[in-house]
């Protein structure tokens, strides 16, 4: 029997999901041709923001590579835009002149970004943010330019602003409403989010109305002018002011369009041979821009293309989760409320938590949360199901884990969730789908579940829940992801462990040597792998490998922390937090000479000079070096500080000389580079005024000597350090601390804190290597001392050279 011909115009997530569903239920029914205007196969558009932020690569977000199309007999035509549809002859015409017949036509043309119709919108440096090409343009601009303006503070605009800020740009976000993300958040949640984003370096201008964009001498955009006459500098302008369904092709073919290609509940257009899905489609007056509704449309559309004749799309209830690292925001339904509704609100600004649920007739109709969003999926399920919440109203804000057993036993347990509960909102995957796939296909890992069900493969917010379901379904056979075998980045399939082994066994002395030997897929690596390779080389071969400055982050190359206004923070080292009048005079003189606007005592008991211009960095370091002061490495993956209390030198409660011990440790470790930053503290008694209990290495003085704690972390998620051992002498403190840190240096993966290293290998393993094996402890101690012998801070050398400014520009280029 002759196969029918299916042509799909558009190669995005909604269209390809339709093909995936169709191939599952009717694999032999169609000859399929796909036209894509971009040069890339199907990729996850949701994850463009992590690519912009440098957290992922383009390869990481490819959903279906070219081989997938070939394996399924699909004729893929990339870089080929369809320019005409002849509905009478049932043909489509490609930009390259080709003609392809169809029996069924699927339009998945997506949407176009809305570009403000203002003077200057066509200037170089003014772009939208919709695809890989836009992302590449933004990454290139961030490397060359300083000032970015993002117009639009919706979901996409904030993700663009976050990515550009992480790449070192000075970012201003312009918005016409009184608060950001007004379609997804109420004003209270929006203001909390804005405060968090401002702490990340973003600036907000709202409500503001853009009048025009002006060019500079080079012809590139240089300034944004507002209707009130105010201006801001802009080397890059990103339009994120909304999207419009891409209907031009459909309209030119006479297909009825009205703010989208109008479709019925089977996703058919007014021409029954032509279907439409995704952002281009208008269903019951709504064009959806979120991925979950588009995937629901895809399933219905595939069912009707397969001529099963069942399945209707009735519209979607949507939820929003913001993907800005370290910030959790969730909203769903009618969270603004109104007539006939009532609100229950929990607002704790100090803890950074806000929850608002909107009720109507004892049913949840909307929810918005900031800070604590772990119950978002639970609220969303109740909202979709129309569940009566009368019995649990008093506990609603405290989440499903506080419900007890009354009629809700185990609601917070993945094992007890009903099969109908939705787990992955992006892909519309319920618990029952996951459990069935695990059992039928013999799945044992998270990656296998993603491959078979798509759960956790889009925004990733449901990953933890999917892992819980996997563990509860297969019990002891569960295989958690092995962090030892995770690829360094998208440039290679090799893991961190494999790279470290190769560097050690084959004496590879530079990042380029590693990439050549291990056959990197990219010739020059990327921002993720190059710093890791550089660290592995210099930590393994400390006196033979050459430190590659271009494989370090900008803060390390500049020897200062870049601030949100583009100036730098300079922190001279003060051993153990101790200083002298001469050092204080040198700091005061430098602050006066270079007009440093802010001088602050840091949490590590150092003095921070904030607001230093980049061009002044070599000169201010020269002056500080002349006074005997060196870098505190406050910017480095290295030893940062050893914090101390005054100890028995002064304190009436002190049992040990903590300041003296802190100075000894800091002198011993000066110049130590490590997988991530390392902080130490020495407290003179168990009152622990130096906060040793949340440091990578914490030393607490007791009557009989010292207690040593390891793997603490005072960051976003505070981790209390674990008790390691008890020793009697200063020399033992030095030897044990150094041995532990050298083991971490030799075995830790780049950007892995000590707490995560301990989680991966286990505290018992570290104790065996450092405490139980005396000979190995001494060997580790000696290897660290060998690596650090003769260390001279690069700035001590560089500050003595002539033409300091030019030399500095060469290093930081």
Indicate the pLDDT class of residue 414, thresholds 50, 70 and 90: low
What are the binding residues? 645, 651, 685, 689
Structure tokens at 755: 């707490």
Distance separating alpha carbons of residues 576 and 661, to the nearest angstrom? 8
Among 71-80, 294-303, 375-384, 495-504, the least confident range: 375-384
Structure tokens at 410: 């185990």
Domain 126-241 falls under CATH 1.10.10.1800: no
**356-395: b or e for each residue (b if 16 or more CB lie within 10 Å)?**
bbbbeeeebbbbbbbbbbbbbbbbbbbbbeeeebeebeeb
**Which span out of 324-328, 535-539, 554-558, 570-574 was modeled with the highest average pLDDT?**
535-539
CA distances from 791 to 321, 546, 597 (A): 47, 13, 32
Whether 245 and 259 have beta carbons less than 8 Å apart is answered as yes
Closest CA to 6 of 305, 236, 282: 305
Instruction: Place domain 636-792 in its CATH homologous superfamily.
Output: Sulfite Reductase Hemoprotein, domain 1 (3.30.413.10)
pLDDT at 660 over 90: yes
pLDDT at 476 over 50: no
126-151 per-position pLDDT tens digit: 999 999 999 999 999 999 999 999 99
What are the binding residues for siroheme? 689
pLDDT at 811 over 70: no
16-68 per-position pLDDT tens digit: 999 999 999 999 999 999 999 999 999 988 888 888 988 778 888 898 999 99
Q: What proportion of the chain, given as a percentage, has pLDDT over 70? A: 91
Whether 792 and 750 have beta carbons less than 8 Å apart is answered as no
pLDDT for 1: 66
pLDDT at 260 over 50: yes
What are the binding residues for [4Fe-4S] cluster? 645, 651, 685, 689
**Taking the domain 553-631, which CATH number applies?**
3.90.480.10
The answer to whether the bond into 764 is cis (omega within 30° of 0) is no
606-616 per-position pLDDT tens digit: 888 888 888 88
- All CATH 3.30.413.10 domain ranges of the chain, comma separated, are 636-792
Angle, alpha carbons 72-75-77 (nearest 5°): 135
Distance separating alpha carbons of residues 193 and 180, to the nearest angstrom? 8
Closest CA to 504 of 746, 193, 238, 289: 746
pLDDT at 369 over 60: yes
Q: Count Cβ atoms within 10 A of the Cβ of residue 177 and give its class: 0-12 exposed, 13-18 middle, 19 or more buried.
A: middle
Whether 552 and 517 have beta carbons less than 8 Å apart is answered as no
Distance separating alpha carbons of residues 738 and 280, to the nearest angstrom? 61
Pairing of strands 363-370, 639-644: unpaired
What is the rounded average pLDDT for all residues in the chain?
Answer: 87
Report the chain's C-alpha Rg in angstroms. Answer: 30
Strand order from edge to edge, sheet including 231-233: 210-215, 221-226, 231-233
Distance separating alpha carbons of residues 504 and 20, to the nearest angstrom? 45
Kindly report the number of other CB atoms within 10 A of residue 150's CB atom: 31
In this prediction, residues 668-674 reach a mean pLDDT of 92
pLDDT for 552: 79
Q: Tell me the CATH architecture of domain 4-111+245-305.
A: 3-Layer(bba) Sandwich (3.50)
Among 80-89, 106-115, 286-295, 774-783, the least confident range: 286-295
In this prediction, residues 226-253 reach a mean pLDDT of 96
Indicate the pLDDT class of residue 446, thresholds 50, 70 and 90: confident
**758-796: b or e for each residue (b if 16 or more CB lie within 10 Å)?**
beebeeeebbebbbeeeeebeebbebbeebbeeeebbbe
Q: Would you list the DSSP string of 67-119? A: HHHHHTTEEEEET--EEEEETTTTEEEETTS-EEE-SEEEE---EEEPPP-ST
pLDDT at 409 over 50: no
- All CATH 3.90.480.10 domain ranges of the chain, comma separated, are 553-631
In the numeric block, the tokens 């005997």 are attached to 628
Indicate the pLDDT class of residue 477, thresholds 50, 70 and 90: very low
In this prediction, residues 525-545 reach a mean pLDDT of 89
Among 436-450, 583-597, 638-652, the least confident range: 436-450
Pairing of strands 261-263, 281-283: parallel
Distance separating alpha carbons of residues 588 and 256, to the nearest angstrom? 73
pLDDT for 569: 83
Distance separating alpha carbons of residues 787 and 540, to the nearest angstrom? 9
CA 801 centroid distance within chain? 40
In this prediction, residues 683-693 reach a mean pLDDT of 92
Distance separating alpha carbons of residues 429 and 453, to the nearest angstrom? 7
CB-based contacts of 648, cutoff 8 Å, min separation 6: 654, 655, 656, 657, 658, 684, 685, 701
| Higher pLDDT pick, 202 / 559 | 202
| Higher pLDDT pick, 401 / 456 | 456
pLDDT at 646 over 50: yes
pLDDT at 324 over 70: no
Pairing of strands 722-727, 705-710: antiparallel
CA distances from 757 to 158, 409, 747, 752 (A): 33, 36, 8, 6
Phi, psi of 82 (to 5 degrees): -80, 125
Strand, coil or helix: 485: helix
| Higher pLDDT pick, 330 / 152 | 152
Q: According to DSSP H, which parts of 108-227 are helical?
A: 132-144, 155-166, 187-199
pLDDT at 561 over 70: yes
Pairing of strands 281-283, 99-101: unpaired
Torsion, Cα 487 490 494 500, to 10 degrees, reads -80
Phi, psi of 723 (to 5 degrees): -65, 130
pLDDT at 304 over 80: yes
pLDDT at 459 over 70: no
Pairing of strands 697-702, 678-683: parallel
Whether 643 and 679 have beta carbons less than 8 Å apart is answered as yes
Pairing of strands 74-78, 30-36: parallel
Distance separating alpha carbons of residues 446 and 286, to the nearest angstrom? 35
pLDDT for 8: 98
pLDDT for 401: 57
Phi, psi of 383 (to 5 degrees): -65, -45
pLDDT for 208: 94
pLDDT for 374: 74
Indicate the pLDDT class of residue 405, thresholds 50, 70 and 90: very low
Structure tokens at 228: 């009130």
Structure tokens at 550: 């271009």
Pairing of strands 4-9, 104-107: parallel
Indicate the pLDDT class of residue 485, thresholds 50, 70 and 90: low
- All CATH 3.50.50.60 domain ranges of the chain, comma separated, are 4-111+245-305, 126-241
pLDDT at 478 over 70: no
Pairing of strands 231-233, 221-226: antiparallel
pLDDT at 603 over 80: no
Structure tokens at 5: 């011909």
């Amino acid at each position: 029997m002759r196969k029918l011909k299916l042509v799909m115009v558009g190669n995005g997530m909604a269209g390809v999901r339709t093909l995936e569903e169709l191939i599952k239920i009717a694999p032999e029914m169609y000859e399929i041709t796909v036209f894509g205007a971009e040069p890339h196969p199907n990729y996850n558009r949701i994850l463009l923001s992590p690519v912009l932020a440098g957290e992922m690569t383009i390869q990481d977000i490819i959903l279906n590579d070219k081989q997938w199309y070939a394996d399924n007999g699909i004729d893929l035509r990339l870089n080929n835009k369809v320019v005409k549809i002849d509905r009478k002859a049932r043909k489509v015409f490609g930009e390259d002149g080709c003609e392809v017949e169809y029996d069924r036509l699927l339009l998945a043309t997506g949407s176009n970004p809305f570009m403000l119709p203002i003077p200057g919108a066509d200037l170089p440096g003014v772009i939208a943010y919709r695809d890989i090409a836009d992302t590449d343009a933004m990454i290139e601009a961030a490397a060359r330019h300083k000032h970015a303006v993002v117009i639009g503070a919706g979901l996409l605009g904030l993700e663009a602003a976050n990515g550009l800020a992480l790449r070192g740009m000075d970012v201003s976000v312009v918005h016409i409403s009184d608060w950001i993300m007004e379609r997804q958040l109420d004003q209270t949640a929006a203001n909390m989010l804005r405060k968090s984003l401002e702490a990340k370096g973003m600036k907000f201008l709202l409500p503001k109305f853009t009048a025009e964009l002006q060019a500079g001498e080079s012809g590139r955009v240089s300034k944004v002018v507002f209707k009130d006459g105010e201006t801001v500098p802009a080397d890059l302008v990103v339009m994120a002011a909304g999207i419009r369904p891409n209907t031009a092709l459909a309209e030119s073919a006479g297909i009825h369009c009205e703010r989208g290609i109008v479709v019925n509940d089977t996703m058919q257009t007014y021409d029954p041979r032509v279907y439409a899905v995704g952002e281009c489609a208008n269903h019951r007056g709504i064009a959806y821009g979120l991925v979950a509704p588009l995937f629901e449309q895809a399933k219905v559309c595939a069912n009707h293309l397969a001529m099963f004749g069942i399945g209707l799309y009735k519209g979607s209830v949507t939820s929003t989760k913001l993907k800005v690292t370290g910030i959790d925001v969730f909203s769903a339904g009618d969270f603004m409320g109104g007539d006939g509704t009532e609100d229950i609100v929990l607002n704790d600004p100090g803890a950074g938590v806000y929850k608002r649920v909107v009720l109507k007739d004892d049913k949840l109709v909307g929810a918005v949360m900031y800070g604590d969003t772990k119950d978002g999926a639970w609220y969303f399920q109740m909202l979709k199901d129309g569940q009566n919440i009368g019995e649990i109203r008093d506990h609603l804000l405290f989440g499903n884990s506080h419900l007890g057993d009354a009629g809700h036993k185990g609601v917070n347990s993945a094992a007890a969730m009903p099969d109908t509960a939705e787990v992955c909102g992006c892909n519309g995957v319920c618990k029952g789908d996951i459990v069935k796939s695990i059992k039928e296909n013999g799945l044992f890992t998270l990656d296998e579940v993603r491959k078979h069900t798509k759960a956790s493969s889009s925004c990733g917010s449901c990953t933890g829940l999917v892992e819980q379901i996997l563990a509860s379904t297969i019990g002891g056979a569960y295989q958690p992801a092995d962090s030892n075998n995770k690829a360094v980045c998208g440039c290679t399939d090799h893991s961190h462990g494999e790279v470290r082994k190769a560097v050690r066994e084959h004496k590879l002395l530079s990042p380029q040597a590693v990439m050549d030997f291990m056959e990197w897929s990219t010739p020059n690596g990327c921002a993720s792998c190059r710093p890791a390779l550089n660290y592995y080389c210099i930590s393994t071969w400390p006196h033979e490998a050459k430190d590659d400055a271009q494989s370090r982050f900008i803060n390390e190359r500049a020897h200062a922390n870049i601030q949100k206004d583009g100036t730098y923070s300079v922190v001279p080292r003060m051993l153990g937090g101790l200083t002298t009048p001469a050092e204080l005079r040198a700091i005061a003189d430098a602050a006066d000479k270079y007009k440093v606007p802010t001088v602050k005592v840091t949490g590590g008991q150092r003095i921070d000079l904030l607001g230093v211009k980049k061009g002044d960095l070599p000169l201010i370091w020269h002056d500080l070096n002349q006074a005997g002061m060196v870098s505190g490495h406050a910017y480095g993956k290295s030893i940062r500080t050893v914090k101390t209390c005054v100890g028995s030198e002064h304190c009436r409660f002190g049992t040990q000389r903590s300041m003296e011990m802190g100075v000894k440790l800091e002198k011993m470790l000066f110049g130590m580079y490590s997988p991530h930053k390392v902080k130490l503290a020495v407290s003179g008694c168990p009152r622990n005024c130096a906060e040793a209990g949340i440091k990578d290495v914490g030393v607490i003085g007791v009557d009989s000597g010292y207690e040593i704690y390891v793997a603490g972390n005072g960051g976003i998620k505070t981790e209390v350090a674990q008790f390691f051992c008890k020793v009697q002498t200063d020399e033992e403190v030095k030897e044990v601390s150094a041995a532990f840190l050298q083991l971490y240096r030799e075995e830790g993966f780049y950007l892995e804190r000590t707490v995560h290293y301990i989680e991966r290998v286990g505290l018992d393993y570290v104790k065996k290597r450092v405490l139980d094996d005396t000979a190995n402890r001494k060997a580790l101690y000696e290897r660290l001392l060998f690596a650090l012998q003769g260390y001279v801070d690069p700035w001590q050398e560089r500050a003595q050279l002539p033409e300091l400014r030019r030399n500095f520009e060469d290093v930081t280029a």
